[in-house]
Amino acid sequence: MLPAIDLNLLRIFDAVMTERNVTRAALALHMTQPAVSNAINRLRLTLKDPLFVKIQGGVLPTQRAELLWPPIRDALARIQETLATNEFDPARSEAVFRLAMSDYVADQVIRPLFVEQQTVAPNVRIHLHPYSLDNAAFQLEKGEVDMAAGVWSNVASSLRMLPLETLTYVCAMRKGHPLLAQGHLRLEDFLRARHLMVSLLGTASLVDHELAAHGLKRNVVLTINQFALAPRLLAETDLICVVPLNTVRNSPHSHQLEAVEAPFPFVPRTVNLIWHERSDNEPAHRWLREEILKICQAQGMVFDHAPRAEPQAY
224 and 108: one domain?
no
Bridge partners for 84 per DSSP: none
Does a structural domain hold residue 38? yes
Picking from 37-46, 55-64, 136-145, 298-307, which range would have the lowest pLDDT averaged per residue?
A: 298-307
23 and 143: one domain?
no
70 and 192: one domain?
no
Q: Are 288 and 162 in contact (CB under 8 A)?
A: no
Read off the pLDDT of residues 242-256 as tens digits, 9 standing for 90 and up: 999 989 998 999 999
Read off the pLDDT of residues 202-252 as tens digits, 9 standing for 90 and up: 888 889 999 999 999 999 999 999 899 999 999 999 999 999 998 999 899
Read off the pLDDT of residues 55-64 as tens digits, 9 standing for 90 and up: 998 999 999 9
Read off the pLDDT of residues 252-290 as tens digits, 9 standing for 90 and up: 999 999 999 999 998 888 889 999 988 888 889 999 999
Structurally, how many domains does the chain consist of? Answer: 3
Residues in Cβ contact with 303 at an 8 Å cutoff, skipping those fewer than 6 apart: 163, 164, 165, 166, 296
Helix (H, G, I), strand (E, B) or coil at 286: helix
Bridge partners for 243 per DSSP: 170
User: For strand 125-129 and strand 147-151, is the pairing parallel, antiparallel, or unpaired?
Assistant: unpaired
Of 56, 84, 112, which marks where a domain is finished? Answer: 84
Does a structural domain hold residue 202? yes
Does a structural domain hold residue 305? no
14 and 80: one domain?
yes
Exposure of 48 in the CB half-sphere (CA atoms within 13 A):
1
Does a structural domain hold residue 52? yes
pLDDT band at 174 (very low <50, low <70, confident <90, very high): very high
CATH number of the domain to which 107 belongs: 3.40.190.10
Q: Which residue segment(s) compose the domain that 69 sits in?
A: 7-84
Give whole-number Cα distances, 6 to 10, 12, 15, 64, 208, in Å: 7, 10, 15, 19, 57
Give the Cα separation of 308 and 22 in Å (integer).
64
Q: Are 255 and 261 in contact (CB under 8 A)?
A: no
Does a structural domain hold residue 26? yes
Give whole-number Cα distances, 146 to 96, 163, 183, 250, 280, in Å: 9, 17, 47, 27, 11
Q: Are 256 and 174 in contact (CB under 8 A)?
A: yes
Does a structural domain hold residue 309? no
Q: So what's the pLDDT on residue 301?
A: 61
Q: Are 99 and 72 in contact (CB under 8 A)?
A: no
Residues in Cβ contact with 157 at an 8 Å cutoff, skipping those fewer than 6 apart: none
153 and 176: one domain?
no
Does a structural domain hold residue 91? no
197 and 183: one domain?
yes
